[in-house]
């Protein structure tokens, strides 16, 4: 695989269920941390469409009411399983379902109130966005 030439745009999706809990995942890509569904924006794809697609692929959930939270820079952070440079575009959204169907990127999941999530082992980027969601300070 060639060396990465440019930063990769990615989306992160903070999915809220009908009682206001956030979906968190356990993934081998972020050892020992809870993270959220997300992934790469494909060539020719709008960022919001990537968020909807990634949520469906990784959780089986249909989402709506996307709101942009923030973007974050990720430059060769050792918390990730590979040396990469990403630009994260994080969104919060809603779903009407609790029935999660994980693909092979996640090993487990839980629904948790945003304030309680801050007491879990989170990666820095997930923590930053949850704090922004709690404060209501969305971009």
Q: How many CA atoms lie within 13 A of 86 on its CB side?
A: 21
The string of pLDDT tens digits covering residues 66-122 is 999 999 998 886 777 677 888 999 999 999 999 999 998 888 999 999 999 999 999
Q: Kindly state the percentage of the chain with pLDDT values over 70.
A: 95
Q: How many CB atoms lie within 10 A of CB 107?
A: 10
Mean pLDDT of the chain: 92
The pLDDT value given to residue 29: 83
pTM for this predicted structure: 0.92
What domains can be seen in the chain, in order of their start residue? 8-135 (3.90.79.10)
Q: What is the mean pLDDT of residues 26-55?
A: 94
């Amino acid at each position: 695989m060639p060396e990465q030439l440019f930063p990769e745009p990615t989306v992160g999706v903070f999915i809220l269920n009908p009682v206001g809990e956030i979906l968190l995942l356990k993934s081998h890509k972020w050892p020992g941390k809870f993270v959220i569904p997300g992934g790469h924006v494909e060539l020719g794809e709008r960022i919001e469409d990537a968020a909807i697609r990634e949520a469906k692929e990784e959780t089986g959930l249909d989402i709506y009411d996307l709101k942009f939270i923030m973007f974050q820079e990720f430059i060769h952070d050792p918390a990730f399983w590979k040396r990469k440079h990403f630009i994260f575009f994080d969104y919060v959204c809603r779903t009407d379902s609790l029935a999660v169907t994980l693909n092979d990127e996640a090993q487990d999941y839980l629904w948790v109130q945003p304030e309680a999530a801050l007491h879990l082992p989170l990666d820095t980027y997930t923590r930053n966005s949850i704090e922004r969601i709690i404060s209501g300070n969305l971009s």
